[in-house]
Chains A and B, each alone.
Chain A
């Protein structure tokens, strides 16, 4: 005769009620898909912000007549100025390559340009302790061969502040969504406990401890979570693929140009499912089983 361990007992009780499994897994899959879509959005925004925030903090645009070797001499001269950490001459072809890299999946948008609109320029990285960047910019603007100076720092600082505040909000919303997933898991476990109430009470009568009764439900919650995570990943991947198709979105927009499916999303959802399965399992069983509550 075959005697089963906790995983075997969990698999057996799952197999005994496939309808219940279907309901539990599909409910969890919807909850995880919402969580996954939110994670994908956050990761994409974070990557886009990272690309923007790693640029130079001062851009010195050279006159159109300035030749590349003169531009490089200007860069060397600028690098010697107090408050400048480094200076690099970037011609317009190089600038376009970098711009495409910064745009990432959205770089296709530049394909329609007739000509390269970016100027030759010197990129300056300022030292963090610089006291008065506007004065430095004004000084540089008066130098020979300089057409304009673009100071990116103020709007970058505003963007940084906005992203930081948005990040905190995103984490709070993420925690709320995670708690919702835990609650859904806990309720599916409570439903499973309710369905098997008689059997559990019988186990309690013959002396089963909390661990013996709880174990299969925890394993079941984790397995359901993993199945739901796989289903949710598949669902999101399909949705991304569908919306990335030409004409899927209005106004000529293509999802692939705005958002990309994060390759680590299935693993992240799987991890979340395991943690929420354990937490929800403990909550769901803990609230439902008490040794004195027997038939």
Chain B
């Protein structure tokens, strides 16, 4: 599902490369933790995977697509196969929960009835059906992150990329969030969770752990 070959990323005006010769292969359906301290390059690696950045060197292949060769106009097609979850939720604050979740289906031109049915399904999964009409900015942090997850799950993605998904949540909500990222909820999708918090690893056991340290990748288990 994911293949990185000798990937380096250098930002202008920054001495140290963000990533240095990273090689990584993640198969379909795998659950992988990407750990490392702040500034280790986790977010950069995720940005490369959803096409917000291009590598300075090496190849990034997602779902068989070499992102270095992907024309910008085809980037939306790739992103529709991904589910993205961020630490800061990235919701449309004045829009309802339903509208936020429906967005990931509407952008792909999905039929209205299918959108309604699917949004109801995923809101049921994340236990937010009762808040469907509420504006997103009236929800608690935990609820907002569940809305973000529902938005990521709605199109039935092949790959879920979560960047510090529990960073703004209390332990209870963090556990609830991590439980939603495994098993039947994600429909067999590959999941890559970036976190700097080692306690998170105990919440979902059995996941593969890869560790980034100052831009270099090491397999932890």
Are A205 and B84 CB-contacts (below 8 A) given A210-B73, A292-B51?
yes
In the assembled complex, the CB of B60 is this many whole angstroms from the nearest CB of chain A, namely 13
Minimal Cβ-Cβ distance residue in A for B112:
A3
Contacts of B132 in A (CB 8 A): 1
Tell yes or no: A109 within 8 A of B by CB. no
A107 to B96, CA, bound (A): 65
CB pair B115 A205 closer than 8 Å: no
In the assembled complex, the CB of A288 is this many whole angstroms from the nearest CB of chain B, namely 14
In the assembled complex, the CB of A285 is this many whole angstroms from the nearest CB of chain B, namely 14
Tell yes or no: A144 within 8 A of B by CB. no
In the assembled complex, the CB of A210 is this many whole angstroms from the nearest CB of chain B, namely 7
Q: Which of A181-218 contact B (CB under 8 A)?
A: 199, 202-210, 212
Residue from the list B94, B107, B108, B115 in contact with A16, Cβ < 8 A: B94
Tell yes or no: A295 within 8 A of B by CB. yes
In the assembled complex, the CB of B70 is this many whole angstroms from the nearest CB of chain A, namely 10
In the assembled complex, the CB of B199 is this many whole angstroms from the nearest CB of chain A, namely 27
Minimal Cβ-Cβ distance residue in A for B151:
A206
Q: Which of B76-109 contact A (CB under 8 A)?
A: 76-80, 82, 84, 90-92, 94, 96, 98-99, 102-104, 106-108
Question: Which of the listed residues A16, A207, A212, A292 has the most CB atoms from chain B within 10 Å of its own CB?
Answer: A207
Contacts of A212 in B (CB 8 A): 106-107
Tell yes or no: A130 within 8 A of B by CB. no
Minimal Cβ-Cβ distance residue in A for B116:
A1
Are A206 and B104 CB-contacts (below 8 A) given A1-B116, A3-B112?
yes
Contacts of A210 in B (CB 8 A): 73, 76
Q: Which of A263-295 contact B (CB under 8 A)?
A: 290-292, 294-295
Contacts of B106 in A (CB 8 A): 3, 212
A202 to B119, CA, bound (A): 18
Tell yes or no: B75 within 8 A of A by CB. yes
Contacts of B98 in A (CB 8 A): 1
Are A209 and B107 CB-contacts (below 8 A) given A202-B90, A291-B72, A292-B75?
yes
A210 to B77, CA, bound (A): 11
A199 to B132, CA, bound (A): 19
A205 to B78, CA, bound (A): 10
CB pair A205 B50 closer than 8 Å: yes
In the assembled complex, the CB of B220 is this many whole angstroms from the nearest CB of chain A, namely 29
Q: How many positions in chain A have a CB within 8 Å of any CB in the partner chain? A: 19
Tell yes or no: B170 within 8 A of A by CB. no
CB pair B77 A3 closer than 8 Å: no
Residue from the list A1, A3, A208, A295 in contact with B90, Cβ < 8 A: A295
Q: Which of B158-173 contact A (CB under 8 A)?
A: none
CB pair A207 B108 closer than 8 Å: yes
Residue from the list B76, B90, B92, B115 in contact with A291, Cβ < 8 A: B76
CB pair A292 B53 closer than 8 Å: yes
In the assembled complex, the CB of B198 is this many whole angstroms from the nearest CB of chain A, namely 27
Q: Which of B100-152 contact A (CB under 8 A)?
A: 102-104, 106-108, 112, 115-116, 119, 132-133, 151
Residue from the list A3, A16, A207, A292 in contact with B72, Cβ < 8 A: A292
A206 to B108, CA, bound (A): 9
In the assembled complex, the CB of B119 is this many whole angstroms from the nearest CB of chain A, namely 8
Contacts of A3 in B (CB 8 A): 102, 106, 112, 115-116
CB pair B72 A203 closer than 8 Å: no
In the assembled complex, the CB of B112 is this many whole angstroms from the nearest CB of chain A, namely 5
Contacts of A199 in B (CB 8 A): 92
Interface 0/1 of A1-35, CB less than 8 Å to B: 10100000000000010000000000000000000
CB pair A205 B73 closer than 8 Å: no
Minimal Cβ-Cβ distance residue in B for A205:
B84
Contacts of B115 in A (CB 8 A): 3
Minimal Cβ-Cβ distance residue in B for A294:
B52
CB pair A290 B76 closer than 8 Å: no
In the assembled complex, the CB of A2 is this many whole angstroms from the nearest CB of chain B, namely 9
Contacts of A294 in B (CB 8 A): 52
CB pair A207 B77 closer than 8 Å: yes
A170 to B44, CA, bound (A): 56
Residue from the list B84, B107, B116 in contact with A208, Cβ < 8 A: B107
**Given A1-B132, A209-B76, A291-B51, list of 6 further CB < 8 A pairs?**
A3-B116, A202-B90, A204-B76, A206-B84, A208-B107, A212-B107
Could you list 5 A-B pairs, sorted by A, with CB under 8 Å? A202-B92, A206-B107, A207-B82, A292-B52, A292-B75
Residues of B within 8 A of A (CB): 50-54, 72-73, 75-80, 82, 84, 90-92, 94, 96, 98-99, 102-104, 106-108, 112, 115-116, 119, 132-133, 151, 155
Residues of A within 8 A of B (CB): 1, 3, 16, 199, 202-210, 212, 290-292, 294-295
Enumerate the 3 nearest inter-chain pairs by beta-carbon distance, A residue then B residue, closest first: A207-B80, A207-B79, A208-B107
